[in-house]
Amino acid sequence: MQHVALKHSLASDLGGIQAIAARLARSPSDLVENLREITRHVAAIEFARYDPRDVRKDAHALMLGLFDLRMALHDEIETWHRLKLITHDVQSALRDVFRVTRYATDMLGEIAILHRPLGADGKTHRGFTGPDFNTLGHPSLPSGAHVPFQSGDVLLMRGMAANSAAIARIGDIDSQFSHVGIVHIDHRGRHLITEALIEEGAIVNSLEYTLDHGLGRCIVFRHKDQALAARAGQMIHDYIAGTLTSGIGRPLAYDFSMELAGYKQLFCSKLVRQAFDMASGGKLMLPTYKTSLVMKNRDFFKRIGVTAKETFAPGDMELEPGFKIVAEWADYRVTSDLRLADLAMDKFFEWMDAHRYRFEETFAIHLIALFGRFASLLSNDAKNLIADVVPKVPANMRRRTIATIAMLHQTSETVLGELRTLERRSHELTGRPLHPREVLAALEAIRAREGDTIGYLVRR
């Protein structure tokens, strides 16, 4: 089939999408229709129609166009919130636009670098560095400029682990992010981040360490009230640092329940909620738009300890009025893996809901979970020594949760291995990644082939 010239098709399609985004919305239904039309246009883009050499040539300009579109929509959230236009349908439609435009940006980035893999050390670039047009700055800033962090900046992140994909896709949203933390710059100029980690609890890390610790993507959010944000960054830093030095010096435990009430235990988003709660005297309670945990199959939630019916998921930051996106970063050597993991997790949850699949333990998984529980009682030094054999888990993680995470990881790796092979072949044969629609079809083919048992997912 003859390739369609890129400059006469994909670029003009992008211009059409921007025209849709500029339409005036007088009601929630107007806004929903505009957003859904953008999603349909972007999702319909078929890179197979274009010569990969043309795509590579224009990739950076198109990536900027998609990013600027996302920023233009995000900048309107505060106005739409004030006008009470953000219904549940609008929230869903906005999340869809952000997701599909980000996937399109990633795919352009992957084509531009010829699907170059990670180096021999397996390390991603440090966040907001990299030679591949990795950092996209808000249009009001110099594009691609290194981000000058400020106290109170909120970082929305995505790691590489299988449980990161599960956190990103949990509930009624399809996010691409699994973690959030808040920046504090102390009187000595040290850049720190306060965060709650599953394996560590609530801690303070250097910002450099967090950005250089296996991230695949990250967004910097900045509140319009910089004094409030700086106060939030400092107050939560001082509080969490105090818990680490007072008494027995043990971090506040990770809150697996994902309940928003109380601060005795914290998950990552709840820590950011506490920061702005403290700084505002209770006037700013994040999130404005909560994630609903409405899966029909509650078995997975019970296994990992979630009891909340609605929560503050990391991806809820994308809809938060009052926060502006400063910059967005991704390592295009790993975005394909992140996308495949997202889509696989979509299917896992769909199969749990629609086809009654459940995680089912084997004797080997039972042993791993038991050893994991034992290891959770050891010192951090001892945990690190046996990390390759036994999962590094907190003392309050239940045996059943350890087992579920182990089964999720093993099942994901089995499925992702097959998807990665298909992705690599697509790049070799066509110069492009698989369309998400092709990935979902491949996942359904795996389910049809494997039948009642897919890794540790068993249909009952």
Whether 208 and 326 map to the same domain: the answer is yes
Query: Are residue 175 and residue 139 in the same domain, yes or no?
Result: yes
Q: How confident is the model at residue 382 (pLDDT cuts 50, 70, 90)?
A: low
**pLDDT band, residue 231 (cuts 50/70/90):** very high
User: Which whole-number Å values give the CA distances from 446 to 75, 354, 418, 453, in the listed order?
Assistant: 41, 16, 9, 10
How many domains does the chain contain in total? 3
Among 2-11, 263-272, 363-372, the range with the most confident prediction by mean pLDDT is 263-272
Task: Note whether residue 186 is domain-resident.
Answer: yes
Given this model, what pLDDT does residue 215 score?
95
Same domain, 157 and 220: yes
Predicted confidence band of residue 1 (pLDDT cuts 50, 70, 90): very low
> For residues 23 and 386, what is the distance between their CA atoms, to the nearest angstrom?
57
Band of residue 145 on the pLDDT scale cut at 50, 70, 90: low
Are 180 and 296 contained in the same domain?
yes
Share of the chain above pLDDT 70, in %: 90
Does the pLDDT of residue 211 top 70, yes or no?
Answer: yes
> In degrees to the nearest 10, what's the CA dihedral of 343, 349, 351, 352?
170
Same domain, 183 and 232: yes
- Residue 382 sits in the same domain as residue 239: no
Residues 233 and 378 in one domain: no
Residue 425 has pLDDT above 60, yes or no: yes
pLDDT for res 402? 84
Q: Tell me, what's the pLDDT at 389?
A: 45
Q: Does some domain include residue 126?
A: no
Where does the pLDDT of residue 8 fall: very low under 50, low under 70, confident under 90, or very high at 90 and above?
Answer: very low
Confidence band, pLDDT 50/70/90 cuts, at residue 72: very high
Instruction: Provide the 3-class DSSP secondary structure of residue 202.
Output: strand
Q: What is the average pLDDT value for the chain, to the nearest integer?
A: 89
Residue with tokens 């999720």: 408
* CA neighbours closer than 13 Å in the CB half-sphere of residue 297: 19
* Range of weakest confidence among 27-36, 47-56, 73-82, 117-126: 47-56
Question: Which pLDDT score is estimated for 95?
Answer: 95
Q: For residue 363, what pLDDT is reported?
A: 87
pLDDT band of 385, cuts 50, 70, 90: very low
Domain end point (choices 330, 355, 374):
330
Helix (H) / strand (E) containing 179: strand 179-185
Q: Are 153 and 229 in contact (CB under 8 A)?
A: yes
pLDDT at position 387 is 55
Q: How far apart are CA 316 and CA 286, in angstroms?
A: 9
**18 vs 237, residue with greater confidence:** 237
Q: For residue 320, tell me if it sits in a domain.
A: yes
Owning domain of residue 52: 6-112
Residue scoring higher pLDDT (122 or 384): 122
Check residue 299 and give its pLDDT. 81
| Within a domain: 102 | yes
119 assigned to some structural domain = no
For residue 270, give the CATH number of its domain.
Answer: 3.90.1720.10
| pLDDT value of position 303 | 86
Q: Tell whether the model's pLDDT for residue 368 goes beyond 70.
A: yes
Return the amino acid letter for 3. H
347 and 443 share one domain: yes
Among the ranges given (99-103, 164-168, 455-459), the one the predictor scored with the smallest mean pLDDT: 164-168
**Span 114-138, mean pLDDT?**
93
* 316 and 452 share one domain: no
At 400-416, the pLDDT tens digits run: 888 888 888 889 999 99
Do 303 and 405 reside in the same domain of the chain? no
C-alpha dist (Å) from residue 254 to 169, 266, 283, 308, 407: 19, 5, 25, 15, 21
Per-residue pLDDT reduced to its tens digit, 178-202 = 999 999 999 999 999 999 998 889 9
Verify that 325 and 342 share a domain, yes or no: no
Residue 457: half-sphere exposure toward Cβ, Cα within 13 Å: 26
What percentage of the chain exceeds 90 in pLDDT?
66
Task: Judge whether 216 lies within some domain.
Answer: yes
Is the model's pLDDT at 151 over the cut of 70? yes
